[in-house]
């Protein structure tokens, strides 16, 4: 066990490919001392709100996230304590009633649109990454993904993108790029960047002798 786990933050706009990058890195170390947590798991609980109210929520504003709980959980993991991670369901716009037990690991990857926006989160990170992809590609990817995986229609994705996602991205996500140590263009297919990150993580795991 090391002194404390290493925390890597991976931010980027919706559809930039940050989940793909995170999974590609994570998959290279599956079974070793690494875990990934999506900020989306910490969207605020809205079970008390009716569906029509949930549909009106701005999911791209920093206040949509329960960062207090997110930070509390990261701090627990940094002390090598297990957490009960919330489970988010995009189709009903709220948390499900179950949680997932997560054991502490030496490398913790935090991924989400606004993980670099909150100074308290940034202060917990050892490495900060921003996945940078042009907006036209991001909206095309999001349309395909949200219809296939999140139960949306083309009209609803386009409407949400124009009225909420785009302005919030410009106000909160894009400016957080300046806090990144590393900027990865294009996301999931950038194998050079993924390999570089994997090499770095391998060194960290070798140092704490858990590989």
Ligand X SMILES: Nc1ncnc2c1ncn2[C@@H]1O[C@H](COP(=O)(O)OP(=O)(O)O)[C@@H](O)[C@H]1O
Ligand Y SMILES: Nc1ccn([C@@H]2O[C@H](COP(=O)(O)O)[C@@H](O)[C@H]2O)c(=O)n1
Binds ligand Y (CB under 6 A): choice among 83, 113, 124, 197: 113
151 appears as a binding residue in the annotation: no
Task: Name which position in 2, 4, 20, 104 contacts ligand X (CB under 6 A).
Answer: 20
Q: Which is nearer to ligand X, 32 or 145 (CB)?
A: 145
In the complex, the smallest distance separating the C-beta of residue 59 from ligand X, rounded to whole angstroms, is 12
Report the C-alpha gap between 29 and 139 in whole angstroms. 30
Is 112 part of any known ligand binding site? no
CB atoms within 10 A of CB 156: 14
Based on the shown chain and the rule CB under 6 A, indicate whether residue 17 belongs to the binding site for ligand X: yes
45 contacts ligand X (rule: CB under 6 A): no
List Cβ neighbours of 193 (8 Å cut-off, separation of 6 or more). 21, 182, 184, 185
Stretch that binds ligand Y, among 14-22, 75-83, 95-103, 117-125 (CB under 6 A): 14-22
Comparison of 139 and 205: residue with beta carbon closer to ligand Y: 139
Residue 188 touches which of ligand X, ligand Y, none (Cβ within 5-8 Å per kind): ligand X
Angstrom distance (rounded) from CA 63 to CA 41: 14
How would you classify residue 80: left for phi > 0, otherwise alpha for psi between -120 and 50, otherwise beta?
Answer: left
Binder of ligand Y out of 37, 83, 109, 165 (CB under 6 A): 165
**Comparison of 93 and 128: residue with beta carbon closer to ligand Y:** 93
Of the pair 49, 137, the CB lying nearest ligand X is at 137
Residues 135-194 that bind ligand X (CB under 6 A): 141, 144-145, 186-189
**Axis-axis angle for helices 18-28, 191-207 (nearest 10):** 40
Q: Which of residues 78-97 bind ligand Y (CB under 6 A)?
A: 90, 93
Cβ neighbours of residue 19 closer than 8 Å, sequence gap 6 or more: 38, 111
Classified as helix, coil or strand, 205 is helix
Which positions ≥6 away from 194 have C-beta within 8 Å? Answer: 21, 24, 25, 28
State the binding site for ATP.
12-19
């Amino acid at each position: 066990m090391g002194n404390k786990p290493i925390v890597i933050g991976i931010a980027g706009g919706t559809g930039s490919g940050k989940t793909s990058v995170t999974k590609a890195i994570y998959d290279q170390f599956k079974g070793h001392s690494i875990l990934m947590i999506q900020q989306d798991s910490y969207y605020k609980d809205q079970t008390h709100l009716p569906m029509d109210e949930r549909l009106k929520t701005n999911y791209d504003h920093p206040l949509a996230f329960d960062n207090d709980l997110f930070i509390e959980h990261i701090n627990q993991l940094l002390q090598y304590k297990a957490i009960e991670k919330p489970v988010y369901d995009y189709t009903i716009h709220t948390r499900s009633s179950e949680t997932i037990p997560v054991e502490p690991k030496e490398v913790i990857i935090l991924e989400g649109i606004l993980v670099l926006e909150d100074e308290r989160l940034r202060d917990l990170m050892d490495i900060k990454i921003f996945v940078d992809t042009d907006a036209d590609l991001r909206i095309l990817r999001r349309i395909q993904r949200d219809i296939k995986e999140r139960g949306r229609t083309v009209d609803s994705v386009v409407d949400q993108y124009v009225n909420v996602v785009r302005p919030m991205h410009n106000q909160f996500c894009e400016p957080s790029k300046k806090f990144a140590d590393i900027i990865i263009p294009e996301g999931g297919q950038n194998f050079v960047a993924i390999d570089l990150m994997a090499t770095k993580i391998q060194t960290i795991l070798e140092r704490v002798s858990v590989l």
